A = this chain, B = another copy of it.
Amino acid sequence: MGRKRKNMTYRVDLNSDLGESFGTYTLGMDEEVLSHISSANVACGWHAGDAETMAKTVRLAKEKGVAVGAHPGFPDLVGFGRRKMTISPAEAKAYIQYQLGALMAFAQAEGLSVQHVKPHGALYNMSAVDMNLALAICEGIAAVDKNIIFMGLAGSCHMEAAKQAGLRAAGEVFADRGYQADGTLVPRGKPGDMVTDEDVAVNRVLCMVKEGVVEAVDGTLVPVKADTVCIHGDNPHAVAFAAKLRAALESEGVEIANLEKMFA
């Protein structure tokens, strides 16, 4: 659940995937969504993004006071990192370190530190259910810098792997996705996979953050550690929802805080 502070207020981080433009190709409404989030997951050039886009994205995030994290993915630009690839733990570790390092340089050039790492796409999904892969990723990060926070699927292998590797773990929840009784997401394409009603979505997030529970598709109340909420920024509708969600959280006394602040 969102961190409850001594004075009985709550805190949650809002994160979004940014810097996904590539060369002449633009993607995402980065400037707009940056006004509503506290942590930016910056693509690192393997599944999306390029060096100049990374530099620009870090600068933008700094201007908006948003913390930056690495969003490393598979080496699959044409597939946007969304296709499963069978890689070894050693490969996973090296791939994470490479991409994390690239972002570190751009962050340092702006006087920032990399706050967190959140794997992208298929690498996120695969490592959420594969402890070996999750551990390789977390150990790769920890070897570089133990102060970096691992952002992963709340309740998944991600959380345990981060802990084992000595990293702080931030549990990510989704406003627009259905949950199963075991705390995992309803697979896309199955009944109840998406929450389409915006008000319902906002209320679910409030419940996850303040009560630490989410109602699963079968009606079960499932405990969930909601440190950060995934925000989409790929279209005007998504950005409007981000604004709406943030306003609702704040009006309910939930402070929007980046992970570093939350875990301080």
Could you tell me which A residues sit within 8 Å of B by CB distance? 22-25, 27, 45, 48, 50-52, 54-55, 75-80, 83-87, 90-91, 93-95, 97-106, 108-109, 122, 140, 143-145
Report the bound CA distance from A98 to B109 in whole Å: 11
Inter-chain contact B23/A79, CB cutoff 8 Å: yes
Can you report 22 A-B residue pairs in the complex whose CB atoms are below 8 A from each other? A22-B25, A23-B77, A23-B78, A25-B27, A51-B91, A51-B94, A52-B91, A52-B94, A55-B94, A76-B85, A79-B87, A83-B85, A84-B84, A94-B106, A98-B102, A99-B102, A101-B101, A101-B103, A102-B105, A108-B143, A109-B143, A109-B144
A107 to B169, CA, bound (A): 24
State the CA gap A90–B25 with chains docked (Å): 18
* Bound complex: CA A27 to CA B26 (Å): 9
Docked pose: A99 CA to B102 CA in angstroms: 6
| Complex contacts, A80 vs chain B, CB 8 Å | 23-24
Given A55-B97, A86-B84, A78:B75 Cβ within 8 A: yes
Q: Is the CB of B98 within 8 A of A51?
A: yes
Q: How far is the CB of A225 from chain B (nearest CB, A)?
A: 28
